[in-house]
Amino acid sequence: MEGGQQQGVVKHVLLAKFKDDVSPEKAEELIRGYAALVPLIEPMKAFHWGKDVSIQNKHQGFTHVFESTFENVEGIAEYVSHPVHVEFSSNFLPALEKVIVIDYKPTPA
């Protein structure tokens, strides 16, 4: 299992900038909703997020990074089309001024 994860793990990275009219409380609520997907969507194995703390000013206005972990690309496809993700996205995406979503299989250490 552990070996399988090492081989197949795929990171799903979402960079977001919330709209200016989204309050910090609303943003927090949306982020809690994102985290709440983990126990509901089987292929979603882990979730971490954080606010931008960049010092180089190359972040192009993005304010948050969200990183989810999946065992494979098929798991991401299942996640994307899962009803609770679809419902979450319909609330989350309209709150964003801009968003980039990119998936990659990280090299081993």
> Which residues here bind its own copies, judged by CB under 8 A?
10-11, 13, 15, 46, 48-56, 58-60, 62, 64-65, 67, 73, 76-77, 80, 99-109
| Residue (4 or 80) nearer to its own copies, CB | 80
Distance of CA 57 to the CA centre of its chain: 22
Is the four-CA dihedral 32, 65, 50, 25 of positive or negative sign? negative
Enumerate the β-bridge partners of residue 70: 10, 44
| Residue (21 or 53) nearer to its own copies, CB | 53
Per the annotation, the verdict on 104 as an active-site residue is no
Both tokens of residue 17? 């900038």
Tell me how far, at minimum, the Cβ of 105 lies from its own copies, in Å. Answer: 5
Question: If we measure between CA atoms, which residue out of 19, 101, 24, 25 comes closest to residue 68?
Answer: 101
Per the annotation, the verdict on 59 as an active-site residue is no
Tell me how far, at minimum, the Cβ of 25 lies from its own copies, in Å. Answer: 18
Catalytic residues: 79, 82
